[in-house]
Amino acid sequence: MEKRISNIVMLPNLSKNIFGQRIESVANRFIELGCRIGVSKEYTKEYGIPKNCYEFEPESCECDAFLVLGGDGSMIEAAHYTMGTRIPVVGMNFGHLGYLTELAEDDSEELKKLVLGEYEVDERMMLTAEICDGYGNVRTSFTVLNDIVLNNGPVSRMISFDLFADGVKVQTLRADGLIAATPTGSTAYSLSAGGPVIDPRLRGICVTPICAHSLGIRPIVFGEDSQIRILNFYRNSSSVFINADGRDVAEIEEGDVINIRKSSEVFRLIRLRPYGFLSVLDRKLSGRS
């Protein structure tokens, strides 16, 4: 039994036409259960404050949970929105079949469980990546829920680089790029590139080469406390970039080193059903909706 939810803030995906009566319908169902309902400033700037709701001030962090209205992409955005707050997040699916969303629009019984505290909170591992110059100075850093992707932008060309873990050289890779994924991110780009599915209850860093130019190169899952380093880039006159959770991009410069490790941040994900990841995985991999 977790904390009862009495003050919840909605984070709608503004690109999915979730506004007007749909927003008010969701809000009213919580209000009927005795909850106070806030809405993110991003939404109210666009559509105004829905009836019987209030505009949430992010600086206050005064709520019991966030309700994301969208799909898995919206949940990833919520992971960045909630960093540093430890406020748990639950997803209501307005997208395609998602691994992270827990509710449907008509899930009245599940809403009651949420309000009564009849849920569990998964603490999902996140990663931090730092780009350091040749002198060890951090140029920029990212924290991600899904993955850090190393590639060379819109034109696919082979790049070469060395992969180290805990100070030991693992291999020199010649590939189109590399993905460093959390267990949560193992079902995203990493899976498409041939990486393993990792149960999100586990902790580890999955490193998956993208189109490696060798049959002997395979994905590797390192321990959660491993320190991953990528360096000695040979780019054949092409640019090399880091893409963080599909939302932030930085270019790798000559002499740069990329350091990847487990983040001190975690994504606190509300679960209302008995381990729904396995049933979603079955539907996803079998092509069923």
CB atoms within 10 A of CB 156: 13
2 domain-assigned: no
What is the per-residue pLDDT for 273? 78
Predicted confidence (pLDDT) at residue 59 exceeds the cutoff of 70: yes
pLDDT value, residue 252: 94
Q: Give yes or no: 72 in active site.
A: yes
Q: Say yes or no: 102 and 139 in one domain.
A: no
For residues 39 and 62, membership in a common domain is answered with yes
pLDDT band at 128 (very low <50, low <70, confident <90, very high): very high
Residue 100 lies in a domain: yes
Model confidence over 210-264: pLDDT tens digits? 999 888 889 999 999 999 999 999 877 678 999 999 999 999 999 999 999 999 9
User: CATH no. for residue 189?
Assistant: 2.60.200.30
75 in any annotated domain? yes
- Cβ atoms of 58 and 41 closer than 8 Å: yes
What mean pLDDT comes out for the span 84-93? 93
Catalytic residue among 72, 147, 245, 256: 72
Q: What pLDDT score was predicted for residue 126?
A: 98
Q: Say yes or no: 99 and 205 in one domain.
A: no
In a domain, 1, yes or no: no
174 and 86 fall within a common domain: no
Identify whether residues 240 and 279 lie together within a single domain: no
Q: Average the pLDDT over 120-128 and give the result.
A: 96
Instruction: Verify that 85 and 199 share a domain, yes or no.
Output: no
148 is a domain residue: yes
Predicted pLDDT at 102: 85
The residue segments making up the domain with residue 133 are: 127-264
pLDDT tops 80 at residue 133: yes
Tell me the C-alpha distance between 114 and 102, whole Å.
Answer: 11
